[in-house]
Amino acid sequence: MTIRVSQDGTILRLTLDRAEKKNALTNDMYGALTAQLDRAEQDDSIRVILIDAEGDVFCAGNDLNDFAAIASGQLRRDQIKSFEFLHALARATCPLVTAVQGPAVGIGVTLLLHSDIAVVADDAKLSVPFIDLGLVPEAASSVLMPMRIGHARAFEMFALGKTILGADAFSIGLANACTPRHEVLGRAYEYARKLAARPPGAVRATKRLMRNAVALEAVIDQEITVFAERLTSPETAQALQAFTQRQKR
């Protein structure tokens, strides 16, 4: 299993469990995450979702083999479960707590923009190198990242692939807290338990008011259109070919 699901009282814990591949998300993993987000919207016994990860890396982003499969036509657009996951994130009203214990790349970082509480390791490295792959930002991050940290910082991270540390993510507003690595999960659970103890209807209603789901989904659709076009571009083909060659060595 690559997504480990457990429930601690009213806290639904989703653990990325593909440490041998740095928790890079596959199509099936996206499907499993989407199913759990949808479940949380319908199940009153779930008051908080907590996402964490096994191993030293939180998430290395999307599995590039899936990108290659999409670019070659092996995976049709209607089969791409990451798109469903992004929409589920935008629609979610159940509060989301994320525990980032190690490096995060791509979706591992843009996920924080949809997290209501994010705890990061102070030395974790965060990057969004979409342009390095000839691609564009996703998860409505083309809008949410500049809103959160300002255009200058966001463009530098996207266009130049600038990596920031967890401590910097905290200082610029990408995270609620940063701690030593071994304390990340414990602190995230503290936040989750506090949220779970609050009036659940009021918490969800507040989250709904703070996020324009319709607008976010419209941005996500725009990004998906450009992202899909970029996947078949010569720039992305070259980047994926280089990745494949490195894997064969």
Token code pair at residue 221: 């659709």
Residue 193 CA: distances (Å) to CA of 65, 123, 178, 237: 37, 25, 18, 45
Summarize the chain as % helix, strand, coil (round to 5): 55, 15, 30
Separation between Cα atoms, residue 105 and residue 162, nearest integer Å: 11
pLDDT at position 95: 98
Separation between Cα atoms, residue 96 and residue 115, nearest integer Å: 5
* 11-43 pLDDT, tens digit each: 999 999 999 999 999 999 999 999 999 999 999
Q: Which residues contact 110 (CB under 8 A, 6 or more apart)?
A: 128, 137, 138, 139, 141, 144, 145
Q: Are 97 and 115 in contact (CB under 8 A)?
A: yes
Q: Write down the pTM of the prediction.
A: 0.95
CA 90, 126, 79: angle at the middle one, nearest 5? 45
Least confident stretch, 39-53, 78-92, 175-189: 78-92
Residue type, 231: L
Q: Are 37 and 88 in contact (CB under 8 A)?
A: yes
Q: Are 40 and 78 in contact (CB under 8 A)?
A: no
249 pLDDT band, cuts 50/70/90, is low
| Phi, psi (rounded to 5 degrees) for 13 | -105, 125
* 136-150 pLDDT, tens digit each: 999 999 999 999 999
Q: Which residues contact 245 (CB under 8 A, 6 or more apart)?
A: none
Q: What is the mean pLDDT of residues 50-60?
A: 98
Give the right CATH number for 3-181 from 3.40.50.1370, 3.40.50.620, 3.90.226.10, 3.30.420.40.
3.90.226.10
